[in-house]
Structure 1
Amino acid sequence: MKIDWAALGSVFGVSLGVTVGLVVLYTLGISALTRRERAAAGGGSGALALTGASVCFAACAAAVAYGISLIVA
């Protein structure tokens, strides 16, 4: 049995990068929702923060759906 270490390292690197990217996107979404709440408490609208949070969460959902479709296919 021969292990292709280069392929294993490549899979590890890509999965680590995607995981970190998803965590960062989700964290940015939570941060944007917090900014929206602060703006609403201060009398502002926070519409831009809500839009940013929605984009971050939609990107996370799309990445998860893509991953599930890769597993199922």
Structure 2
Amino acid sequence: MHLDWTALGEVAAVSTGVTVAVVVAFALGVLGLARVEAAREGAADTGSSGGGVLGITQAGLCFLACAAVVAYGIYLIVPQFH
């Protein structure tokens, strides 16, 4: 039995990199939601809510990126989608 160690290393490196990227994107999405909450609390105090739009946009884009990676992974795993 022969193992292609280079291919195994490439798969391990890519999967680790994608995992870290998805975790970072999800964390940035949660940060965007935290900005929305902070903007809502600040709007109650000051009467303005400008930071909420940026936070909801950030959260939406980050969660969309996470969903795209998950959907692509499911596409690769399920043979009926090919």
> Could you state the TM-score of these two structures normalised by the residue count of structure 1?
0.96
Match of 2:60 among 54, 62, 66: 54
Residue in structure 1 matched with residue 36 of structure 2 by the alignment? 36
Q: How many residues are treated as equivalent by the alignment?
A: 73
Instruction: Specify the code of the residue in structure 2 equivalent to 1:63.
Output: V
Gaps of 5+ in 1: none
Residue in structure 2 matched with residue 27 of structure 1 by the alignment? 27
Hey, what's the Cα distance between the residues in 2 that align with 1:52 and 1:28?
7
The answer as to 2:82 corresponding to 1:70 is no
> Could you state the TM-score of these two structures normalised by the residue count of structure 2?
0.86
Hey, what's the Cα distance between the residues in 1 that align with 2:17 and 2:77?
18
Identity of aligned residues (%): 55
Q: Which stretch of the first structure deviates more once superposed, 38-47 or 7-16?
A: 38-47
* Runs of 4 or more above 2 Å deviation: none
Gaps of 5+ in 2: 44-48
